[in-house]
Chains A and B, each alone.
Chain A
Amino acid sequence: AQTVTQSQPEMSVQEAETVTLSCTYDTSESDYYLFWYKQPPSRQMILVIRQEAYKQQNATENRFSVNFQKAAKSFSLKISDSQLGDAAMYFCAYRRDDKIIFGKGTRLHILP
């Protein structure tokens, strides 16, 4: 069975600094998708970034980038130039067909 593990329940970063959130997953499939979702307090989850497993190039969206290591089954999220609005719960997710599995999340605090 597929699993997604986020080993950091909480993290803090100084505003304008860079932070990396970790995610590992377990699957026997070779074709799948990985996502990072952001959930601000009392708000819905929104997609931050997505990675197709067949692509070697790491996805980038403005200040957000990933380090995708397929062999190691690792998918970390780097947030550069952290802003107060980045404070949220971040979920790593794995998708294969209809099933999307989430990690337990990492709560990110931004220190002014």
Chain B
Amino acid sequence: EPEVTQTPSHQVTQMGQEVILRCVPISNHLYFYWYRQILGQKVEFLVSFYNNEISEKSEIFDDQFSVERPDGSNFTLKIRSTKLEDSAMYFCASSGARTTGELFFGEGSRLTVL
């Protein structure tokens, strides 16, 4: 069964460092998403991406965040200068349809900022 894969599963970084989280969505999906979940809190929407551009983003997704699909298969989330409060589980998701389809999630990348 096709699935969304994410790497790394866990990354530890120093505050101020750049981090790139990678995702390989399901191959025939066109809509891609990043969510994050701070420990013990709700799953929060960060950004949605379609046709090589951001279609929607939340207020959390500020200038230190960026997304891209560099090679047609990977979908990456970059955090330019990490802060302590960026420590969270980051989930990638993809969907075959914009309004009606379910989201298929990866297993998440745990980011720990020291």
- Interface residues of B, CB < 8 Å — how many? 24
B residues less than 8 Å from A97 (CB atoms): 56, 98-99
- Docked Cα-Cα span, A97 to B56, in Å, equals 10
Q: Is the CB of A44 within 8 A of B107?
A: yes
Contact of B42 among A42, A46, A103 (CB under 8 A): A103
Cβ-Cβ contact count across A and B, 8 Å cutoff: 49
- CB of A61 within 8 A of chain B? no
- CB of B100 within 8 A of chain A? yes
- CB of B108 within 8 A of chain A? yes
B-contacting residues, A1-51, CB 8 Å = 33, 35, 37, 42-47, 50
Q: Which residues of B contact A (CB under 8 A)?
A: 4, 31, 33, 35, 41-45, 48, 50, 55-56, 91, 98-100, 102-108
